[in-house]
Amino acid sequence: MSEEEDVILETGESTVMSWIRERELSLLERLTANILKAGPMPKHVAFIMDGNRRFAEKTHVERQEGHSQGFEKLAETLRWCLNLGIHEVTVYAFSIENFKRSKEEVDGLMELARQKFNRLLTEQENLEKHGVCIRVLGDLTLLPTDLQQLIAKSVVATKAHNKCFLNVCFAYTSRHEIANAVKEMAWGVEQGLIKSSDVSEVLLSECLYSSNSPNPDLLIRTSGEVRLSDFLLWQTSYSCLVFQSVLWPEYSFWNLCEAVLQYQLSYRSLQKARDLHREDQALQQMEADRSCVAELLQHRGNGKPMDAQSRQKELLNYTASREERVRCFLNALQHKRDTFFSDLSSQAVVA
Amino acid sequence: MALLYEMVWRFLHALLYVQRTLVAWFRVHIWRWKRAVVGLLLPLALGFHNPKKTGPIGKRTSRRIRFGAEGRTLEKLPLHVGLLITEEEIHFTDIANLVVWCMAVGISYVSVYDNQGVFRRNNSRLMEEILKQQQELLGMDSSKYSVEFMKNGTDKQEHQVLSCQSMVKVLSPDDGRLSIVQAAQQLCRDVEQREKTSKDINVTVLDSLLRESKNIPDPDLVLKFGPVESTLGFLPWHIRLTEIISMPSHVDVSYDDLFGALQRYAVCEQRLGK
């Protein structure tokens, strides 16, 4: 029961975006949104969209229908987020663990994904108008090749958009993401771009699939489960976690407002904790740089002790050169990733 | 118009603050009232001639508790419980109580965490409190468990797997992201020295490296105390399947609060992706 007609014009193109509902908020909803926006608002929200299958059982429909309804709810939720000024959303669509499900269900989910990404590719104009950038995070090589190509095309097509961002975690687990980031850093070391002493918390964060996004401010999990299930474990260390018992396909605007309110209540404590952590990080980096410089000087050493001023100069030089190395490495990494997507995308055209 | 919205917002948050304070106040006072009532009625019920039967009534238990038996009534007991304190002011006695109750109920590993490293810095004080509370709450001698520190893997601890042996670990944010970074540095050094290639690195390799220094299982349950809705840097790698149950506060926490949380844990269903 959609609230607006999906008008298919003569050319066969739809005026309605499938991934973001075009419905406007009601008066009461707008009022509530405006009141909430008077306080601190999350800029990036992550969703674990749990409860599709339980919803299907509850309403006596097929599981596949439950997942389909789940997608519709996603489109609605994205609209609410935009209305609330939340411009970045990350969703947990498919975990690597979900491959354990029955072949029927997995194939059904892959088919749903194919449908939705195909549809997305027909909505280029709308996506450009709204400035929607779609990113897909995960180990895409685990997916069927045609789906990989579809995804690559969508990602490449929306790469330049920058008004709002949707990150879809597909074939993803957080541990894989972290291990992959370590692997990339090791690759950098192999290529001679960085040294093992350059490895730091900041660098690891830059090597994650989610490196182009800030950490989520708010993580919402529906259906009453109170665990993270291998989702954004690194990135949500200082995020507000809200567990709601509503099933995902039944999610409402008011549930979202409730979560945002919870975020506002924890805001100050979280800011404090984050600032403390940032300070610790900076201190650790400085210590690491100092010990590297000390080692270097020892190697170079001609027995003469250096005065404080020259030591300081050496430290600054070292830090600058480390930062330059890291910058080059991250450029190379980004290039590697872009090439992966553009290659896949052009394969799809040829095929 | 914006000013009006802001006023409403402030009013809303003021209301919520008042509500929270009232709830917290009631929680403490209802508990105290309960204890007072039981303190009066229990001797009456047992008859004045046998006051010794009241057994080990600890500060936070208003009835005689057979911890081991109660633990066995639960469908499943977590192997490792993490106590995550988000409150700024820490009451060591209450934490010690929680640790002792967990161990008495049959939980093998208990870790204690706060994001400012207070527990790490006051390790000995916590240990003293735990020993003290153990005497008071359980009346047994301290040979039933050993207390260990979470250090950076240079200590090799002896593990005695006796039936009542429990381990208490103190954790801080350094055991979280920093440990992962240190493991990453180790792997990169191996690659630098050509002992490994980048292709050798995967989840299993990283996991086993992280387990080397912390030879304890992943937490099954994290009890989060305090109003802050976040893990505040608690062991990010290890909590991928951990149930996170929030409790309002660790101050004046009772055994019933803890047991209630354990009951909630016992009925949760982990599908593991399936």
User: Could you report the predicted ipTM of this complex, rounded to two decimals?
Assistant: 0.90
CA distance A52 to A47: 13
Would you give per-residue pLDDT tens digits along chain A (351 residues)?
Answer: 333 444 444 444 444 567 877 788 899 999 999 999 999 999 999 999 999 999 999 999 998 999 999 999 999 999 999 999 999 999 999 999 999 999 999 999 999 999 999 999 998 888 898 899 999 999 999 999 999 999 999 999 999 999 999 999 999 999 999 999 999 999 999 999 999 999 999 999 999 999 999 999 999 999 999 999 999 999 999 999 999 999 999 999 999 999 999 999 999 999 999 999 999 999 999 999 999 998 888 887 666 667 888 888 989 999 999 999 999 999 999 999 999 999 999 986 654
State how far residue A268 is from chain B, nearest Cα, in angstroms.
9
Percentage of chain B exceeding pLDDT 70 = 78
DSSP secondary structure string for all residues of A247-285? -GGG--HHHHHHHHHHHHHHHHHHHHHHHHHHHHHHHHH
Q: Are A161 and A84 within 8 A, CB to CB?
A: no
Chain center to CA of B177: 20
Three-state SS at A17: coil
- Is B111's Cβ below 8 Å from some Cβ in A? no
Q: Do B229 and A227 touch (CB under 8 A)?
A: no
> Which residues of chain A lie closer than 8 angstroms to B198, CB-CB?
183-184, 186-187, 189-190
A5-27 pLDDT per residue, tens: 444 444 444 445 678 777 888 99
**Which chain A residue has its CA at the smallest distance from B223's CA?**
A226
A212-233 pLDDT per residue, tens: 999 999 999 999 999 999 999 9
Listed in sequence order, the residues at least 6 apart from A23 whose beta carbon sits closer than 8 Å to its beta carbon are A3, A4, A76, A79
Q: Residue A241 is nearest to which of B188, B197, B231, comparing CB atoms? A: B231
pLDDT at position B215 is 74
- Is B237's Cβ below 8 Å from some Cβ in A? yes
Show the tokens assigned to B162: 């006796």
Show the tokens assigned to A257: 């407002």
Q: Residue A182 is nearest to which of B173, B206, B228, comparing CB atoms? A: B206
Query: What's the pTM value of the predicted model, to 2 decimals?
Result: 0.88
> Which residues of chain A lie closer than 8 angstroms to B237, CB-CB?
175, 178, 233
Query: Could you tell me the domains of chain B?
Result: 87-151+163-175+217-267 (3.40.1180.10)
Q: What angle do CA B21, B26, B28 make, to 5 degrees?
A: 100
CA distance B120 to B152: 13
Q: Do B16 and A225 touch (CB under 8 A)?
A: no
B123-148 pLDDT per residue, tens: 889 888 888 888 787 665 455 555 55
State how far residue A115 is from chain B, nearest Cα, in angstroms.
23
DSSP letter (8 states) at residue A14: B
> Which residues of chain A lie closer than 8 angstroms to B206, CB-CB?
175, 178-179, 182
Q: Residue B245 is nearest to which of A226, A234, A236, comparing CB atoms? A: A226
Query: Could you tell me the domains of chain A?
Result: 27-282 (3.40.1180.10)
DSSP secondary structure string for all residues of B1-23? -HHHHHHHHHHHHHHHHHHHHHH
Three-state SS at A8: strand
